[in-house]
A and B are shown apart, each in its own frame.
Chain A
Amino acid sequence: MQLSILFPAVVNGILNGALYALIALGLTLVYGVLHIINFAHGTLLTAALFAAFFLYRSLGLDPYVALLLLTPAFFLIGYALQRFVIGPVSRGSDSNILLVTLGLAVIIENGLLFAFRGDTRTVDLPYSFAVVPFAGMFVSVPRLVGFAGAVVVALLLWLLLTLTDTGKAIRAVAKEKLGAQLSGIDVAHIYALTFGLGTACVAVAACLLIPTYYVNPHVGNAFVLIAFTTVVLGGMGSIPGALIGGLFVGLVESVCGLYLGESLGQIGIFTMFILVLLFRPSGLLGARA
């Protein structure tokens, strides 16, 4: 394979990976603290995409501006979902949490279908096609912004977790729930807060994705498996793990796609995932189980 194709493929892979990382950041936080696999994550991404789309359509809000609105909005939605639906209904049972998030996923996806039909919607912004030439290739500007966004969000989350009191509370709950409770931490509140943060990440991802992608009720499904793969690969609960894992997944996907074709190339991600887990069962940067 000529370098002229390989190099751009690597760059593209990393840029795609940044997006996967962004989606995975929310998921890994939720897993690390609540120890649940959130089946509804993909549909929450879809919902955020719809929100960004309608803000653009009705208010003419650029998605990068809508981001400032949607991030807190989706934080609240995530908080409410965990506090008032998932938490109370599942009562801590792992298998029930699975079912509840599954149920939520079905409700959200089909609610969007019912409300907005199956049409594919796109936003066409003046910078959707903007490119910067770089080392003989064209790099998509929105994708670059996405990359920056992923790094910034990862950094912010990491700072939140290590420096703030809330962050310390979250880490305490993640490490030892009973102990945290005994120290006076409101676990239900922390759980909801974490879920809210995870959902907020998804809102950021949606706003950064929408300039180059499209919106319909089933869109989130295409990212769910990749997000799960990224989370587990990076180590569940590890913020830097999700970032690195995402970039790595994007890279593997791109290079394998180049050599094996887009269809067969997908196998690279999952094969690598299996191999990593067989040799490092808690992921690249995960804490030993």
Chain B
Amino acid sequence: MPNNSKRFTRRKFLQSTALTAIASASGVIVSPTVLRAQGAAVKIGFLQPVSGALAYSGQQGRLGASIAVEEINAAGGIKGVGKIEAVLGDAQSTPDGGNAEVEKMNSAGVCAIVGGYGSSICLATSQTAARYDLPYLVDVGVTDAIVTRGLKNTFRFGPGFGVIAKTALANLVAINDAAGKPARTVMIVHEDSAFGSGLAKLLNEQLPLNGFQILETIPHPTPTRDFNNVVLKIKAADPDIVIPANYYNEYVLLARTMQQQQVRPKAAIYSVLGGAASSYKFVKEFPQAAQFIMDCNHWFDPRNAKALALKSKVEAQGQFFTYEVYLNYSCTLLLAEAVERAKSSDRAAIVDALSSSTFAGHVMPYGPTKFVNGQNQGAVPTNTQVIGNDIQVILPEAFASAKAVYPMPRT
């Protein structure tokens, strides 16, 4: 008996060490996918969750980034440095997946990483990048914790949910005041993970300070199979305003259920980071349910010619022009400009260049970039409303394309 077990385990010892050796020696895990460009000189990592639950957003993010890379390379690459060689990574919608990709990108010698999308992914990936002083530019992830950890390498181009909540509230007050304050009661329906909960908490603190009464705050999981009960509660409470904050699928299901149950708040459906509220896809597929829905969300600058050109390009490919696309497009351009000023692919120089960046060549309504502790100060969300079959910008007035229809007409 003892003899057998020794032979048995010796075989296993051989197997386990052999596997480890093979894994490391054959470089199986070392080389990520690399898109080769002719005469490529600077490698940039693009990390997105292109598989798993966040797959659609990841794919859109990757689309925006690749268009930017194509355009830059077509114009000869980054001036004085060279063409971009995009190193793509799939975060598989988990923090450890993203983490592993950052390691691979670092070892492939990228000078910076753009992306992440999800807040929990961005937290892990930017932290890992910090170990190598690798500049990390967050595309979407809205959790404020991302930029409050004191990591010198982490930058966020778009707004965090603190700014989003504040702006959403200020705009709601403005819209409500301009119409003679017809609304007072509010119901919040939010998804129960990082962004939904974080937003709901802030709204709960600040709405009462502005004269609104919160009737109920309803969290729901992602995914939620059925919104009938939520809509029942909305119907019973009959708020003036419903504030949804969730992802695309749940938003659509909620809106469709509200339409089906013939429930319509008296003044508005005012979304804050509403998953579908400012989505061309939603408007196209469910025009009736989408009518008059407002959103305070990421939006491109409608006066910017580059933005409109990008929109045509994306739609020509048969894709929808979603926020992941133009945020990643802008981040890529921003990074390229920083690399140009850094005059090299040296990471420290790029971090410095980003910190002192005043880039205005992006397509968002933020003005020139200004990073303080990694957060772009000018980043703000925009208020939109679905009017007719299109999404109009309502606020800021500087580039509004329509006036708010508020309160919603009772059809």
Q: B16 within 8 Å of A by Cβ?
A: no
Using an 8 Å CB-CB cutoff, how does the interface string of B253-270 with A read, 1 for contact, 0 for none?
100100111100000000
When C-beta atoms are compared, the residue in chain B nearest to A130 turns out to be B260
Which of B223, B230, B260, B286 is the one whose CB lies under 8 Å from A140? B260
Residues from chain B with a CB closer than 8 A to the CB of A122 are 252, 285-286
Asked if residues A216 and B220 are in contact (CB atoms below 8 Å), the reply is no
CB distance from B272 to the nearest CB of A (A): 18
Q: How far is the CA of A260 from the CA of B311 in the complex (A)?
A: 43
The 8 Å CB contact of B221, one of A16, A218, A263, is A263
Question: CB-nearest residue of chain B relative to A12?
Answer: B228
Within 8 A of B (CB), among A1-23: 2, 4-5, 8-9, 12, 16
B218 within 8 A of A: yes
In the complex, what distance in Å separates the CA atom of A120 from the CA atom of B52?
13
Q: Given A261-B218, A263-B220, does the pair A138, B233 have CB atoms closer than 8 Å? A: no
CA distance A131 to B233 in the complex (A): 18
Question: For A2, A119, A226, which residue has the most chain B Cβ atoms within 10 angstroms?
Answer: A119
Q: Does B248 belong to the interface (CB within 8 Å)?
A: yes
Chain B residues positioned under 8 Å from A140 (CB to CB): 228, 260
Q: What residues make up the interface of B, taking CB atoms closer than 8 Å to A?
A: 50-53, 55-59, 192, 218-221, 223-226, 228-230, 232-233, 236, 248-249, 252-253, 256, 259-262, 285-286
Would you call B249 and A216 a contact (CB within 8 A)?
A: yes
28 interchain pairs (CB within 8 A)?
A2-B236, A5-B233, A8-B232, A9-B228, A9-B229, A12-B226, A16-B225, A16-B226, A117-B56, A118-B55, A118-B56, A119-B56, A124-B286, A129-B260, A131-B260, A140-B228, A213-B225, A214-B253, A216-B55, A216-B56, A218-B52, A223-B225, A257-B229, A258-B232, A261-B219, A261-B220, A262-B219, A263-B192
A214 to B232, CA, bound (A): 21
A238 within 8 A of B: no
Residue of B nearest to A258 (CB): B229
Shortest Cβ distance from B57 into A: residue: A118
CB distance from B217 to the nearest CB of A (A): 9
User: What is the CA–CA distance of A82 and B225 in the complex, to the nearest angstrom?
Assistant: 29
The docked-state distance in angstroms from the alpha carbon of A138 to that of B59 is 38
Residues of the A chain whose Cβ atoms lie less than 8 Å from the Cβ of B221: 262-263, 266
Smallest beta-carbon distance B235→chain A, Å: 8
Besides A254-B229, A263-B221, 19 more A-B contacts (Cβ < 8 Å) are A4-B236, A5-B232, A8-B228, A12-B229, A110-B51, A117-B59, A118-B57, A122-B252, A122-B285, A124-B286, A131-B262, A214-B252, A218-B55, A221-B223, A223-B225, A226-B225, A254-B228, A261-B220, A262-B229
CB pair A129 B256 closer than 8 Å: yes
Min Cβ gap B315→A in Å is 14
Report Cα–Cα, A181/B262, bound state, in Å. Answer: 58
Judged by a CB distance under 8 angstroms, whether A217 is at the interface is: yes
Whether a CB of chain B sits under 8 angstroms from the CB of A278 is: no
Measured between beta carbons, the chain A residues less than 8 angstroms from B230 are 262
Instruction: Give me the interface of A with B, judged by CB distance under 8 Å.
Output: 2, 4-5, 8-9, 12, 16, 110, 113, 117-120, 122, 124, 128-129, 131, 138, 140, 212-214, 216-219, 221-223, 226, 254, 257-258, 261-263, 266
Report the bound CA distance from A218 to B223 in whole Å. 10
C-alpha gap A222/B226 in the complex (Å):
11
> Using Cβ atoms and an 8 Å threshold, which residues of chain A touch B50?
118
Taking CB atoms, residues of chain A closer than 8 Å to B260 are: 129, 131, 138, 140
Most interface-central of B53, B55, B253 (chain A CB within 10 A): B55
Q: How far is B53's CA from A219's CA once the two chains are assembled, in angstroms? A: 9
Q: Complex Cα distance A117/B220, Å?
A: 26
Contact B285 A124, beta carbon cutoff 8 Å? yes
Closest CB-CB distance, A2 to chain B, in whole Å? 7
Among residues of A, the one whose C-beta sits closest to the C-beta of B192 is A263
- Give every chain A residue within 8 A of B249 (Cβ-Cβ): 120, 214, 216
Of chain B, the residue at the smallest CB distance from A255 is B229
Q: How far is the CB of A240 from chain B (nearest CB, A)?
A: 24
Are B55 and A217 within 8 A (Cβ)? yes
Q: Which of B225, B248, B256 contacts A120 (CB 8 A)?
A: B248
Query: Within the assembled complex, what's the spacing in Å between the Cα atoms of A218 and B57?
Result: 14
The answer, among B57, B223, B256, for a CB contact under 8 Å with A222, is B223
> CA A120 – CA B228 in complex, angstroms?
21
Q: How many Å lie between the Cα of A2 and that of B192 in the bound state?
A: 26
Q: Report the minimum CB–CB distance from B84 to chain A (whole Å).
A: 25
- Chain B residues with CB under 8 Å of A120's CB are 56, 248-249, 252
Q: Cβ of A9: which chain B residues have Cβ within 8 Å of it?
A: 228-229, 232
Chain A residues contacting B253 (CB-CB under 8 Å) are 213-214
